[in-house]
Amino acid sequence: MAKAYEKIADELRAQIRAGQLEPGDRLPSEADLIKSSGRSGPTVQQALRVLQAEGLIEKQHGRGTFVRRPRTLVQRTNMRHQWEKDRARAPEQKRLETGSTEHDTGLGVNDLVFHAAYREIEAPKEIAAAMGVDEGTALVERTYRTRYNAERNPFSLVTSHLIRDVVKGNPDLLDETKEPWPGGTWNQLLTVGIEIDRIEDRVTARPPTVEEAEELGLPPGTSVLVLRKTSYDTDNRIVEMSDVTLPGDRTEMLFTTHLERW
């Protein structure tokens, strides 16, 4: 006994996969589906909800229901790590020219809008454990939002943590008005004598929280990539840790691993 809403969903899904309904096409209106299926409104709506949760369709209030366009625009690579390290020691003129986000996106500085906020906090349990410090250790927490000039919503949410005692040698590092800092965090760390040796990127996926969906402007039926980036210095200490939330449907992360030759 197939459930009524599943039957409706299956039919529409088959049409989308077969290409009878192409990305951008409008689906039959709910009223049409009610008539053609002989089912009630809520049943038809449940069928559409299923497809929406699969990321196949997108509802637009007052306009109709449409087949979603796949999109993967922003690529984020681990080559950026070496690039960022090199840039940290470049002359200031060069450092001013471009940031790591422009490196990823291939855009100029003027196409992007940054916002940064700093505050000092005491390390909560989870952060302390991940950074290998005691709970309550003084940290500098920095949050960043980056968006395209032409768009309303940012395409990444970043929260970065530094250990206060490690960076206090340069008071500018505690001052958010110095952002954007030419040469980025790595140049900041260089000013207090820190060299980064390796990066660990931890990636998981989950549905967005309401707050993330709101800030990133994510429609229902999308996932976020959650990236925790941990930076180790040449003494094998964790000197920075960032949590990055990225929209799953427009981000591709690329990691290249070179292997030893035989």
Partner DNA sequence: GAGTGGTCTAGACCACTGT
Partner DNA sequence: CAGTGGTCTAGACCACTCC
Binding residues vs a copy of itself (CB under 8 A): 13, 42, 49, 53-55, 72, 78, 81-82, 85, 89, 195-210, 220-225, 234, 248-249, 251-262
Nearer to DNA, 39 or 142 (CB): 39
Instruction: Establish if 155 lies at the interface with DNA (CB under 7 A).
Output: no
Q: Do 50 and 3 meet the contact criterion of CB atoms below 8 Å apart? A: no
Q: Do 248 and 227 meet the contact criterion of CB atoms below 8 Å apart? A: no
Nearer to DNA, 42 or 193 (CB): 42
Instruction: Establish if 210 lies at the interface with DNA (CB under 7 A).
Output: no
Task: Calculate the CA 240 to chain-centre distance.
Answer: 18
Task: Calculate the CA 29 to chain-centre distance.
Answer: 33
The mark string for 18-57 relative to DNA (x by CB under 7 A, - otherwise) is ---------x-xxxx-----xxxxxx-xx-x---------
Q: What is the DSSP string of 30-51?
A: HHHHHHHHT--HHHHHHHHHHH
Nearer to DNA, 4 or 128 (CB): 4
Instruction: Establish if 213 lies at the interface with DNA (CB under 7 A).
Output: no
Nearer to DNA, 64 or 207 (CB): 64
Find all residues with CB under 8 Å of 155, minimum gap 6, and list them.
74, 146, 147, 148, 216, 246, 247, 250, 251
CB of 155 to DNA, least distance (A): 22
Q: What are phi and psi of 100, to 5 degrees?
A: -70, -30
Angle between helices 4-18 and 41-53 (to 10 degrees): 50
Instruction: Establish if 193 lies at the interface with DNA (CB under 7 A).
Output: no
Nearer to DNA, 39 or 76 (CB): 39
Site residues, DNA (CB under 7 A): 1, 3-6, 27, 29-32, 38-43, 45-46, 48, 59-65
